[in-house]
Chain A
Amino acid sequence: EVQLVESGGGLVQPGGSLRFSCAASGFTFSTHGLSWVRQAPGKGLEWVSGINSGGSTFYADSVKGRFTISRDNSKNTLYLQMDSLRAEDTALYYCAKGRYSVYGPFDSWGQGTLVTVSS
């Protein structure tokens, strides 16, 4: 069974940084693209960033230059480093496994980790 477990969210001040992770199991981690998808409170889904099996990274314009996605295939773990955080980055962040690519479709999702950016 595929499992994706996020951890590391929390409350951070505007301009601050946060790093969280997604531990994966139940599939061959190194051969799949993975993405972060976020959902602001009461809102819809927004793709944030992805990394393919070869390590190439992709970002939404709204986070480019501020967020960094990475993966450690030896630990089956995906990471998202978030810098220069803004209030509009407040959301539930999901780790999602791409069936074909980092662009989706996303056939497995974690339970999400909440990031709140507020002073």
Chain B
Amino acid sequence: EIVLTQSPATLSLSPGERATLSCRASQSVSSQLAWYQQKPGQAPRLLIYDASNRATGITDRFSGSGSGTDFTLTISRLEPEDFAVYYCQQRSSWPPTFGQGTKLEIK
């Protein structure tokens, strides 16, 4: 199975700063990678699919890039509501797998 490794495990930033989250795959997933946001007590929410496409209703402060094995989620100017856990997920091969998550916390 494809292992997704997210870094850093925890990212401490202040509102207004730029956040850069990384996801590395153990083998190529082409562009078949998605990013999700999960807040405490809530279900995950799709942010980005196919590496760089924003899901419906997602602000353009969120952007995704990468292909193959290295991917990045960028949040351009952090708002208070952006502090959450972020997961990447690949659908390139069975079984679909998730990264272990990056917790974005307020500094």
Contacts and interface: CB of A to CB of B under 8 A. Distances in A.
A22 B34 CA distance: 23
A46 B98 contact: yes
Interface of B: 34, 36, 38, 43-46, 49-50, 55-56, 87, 89, 91, 94-101
A103 B44 CA distance: 15
Interface stretch (A24-32, A74-82, A83-91, A108-116): A108-116
11 contacts: A45-B87, A45-B101, A47-B97, A50-B96, A58-B95, A94-B43, A102-B96, A104-B89, A106-B34, A106-B36, A110-B43
A105 B44 CA distance: 12
A105 B94 contact: no
A54 interface: no
A100 B31 CA distance: 14
A81 to B, nearest CB: 19
Residues of A in contact with B, size category: 20 to 34
A112 B42 CA distance: 9
Contacts of B49: 99, 104-105, 107
B94 to A, nearest CB: 7
A63 B91 CA distance: 19
B57 to A, nearest CB: 10
A104 B99 CA distance: 14
Contacts of A46: 98
A44 B91 contact: no
B91 A100 contact: yes
Contacts of B50: 105
6 closest pairs, A vs B, by CB? A105-B34, A103-B91, A109-B43, A105-B49, A104-B91, A103-B96
B101 A44 contact: yes
A79 B89 CA distance: 23
B43 A112 contact: yes
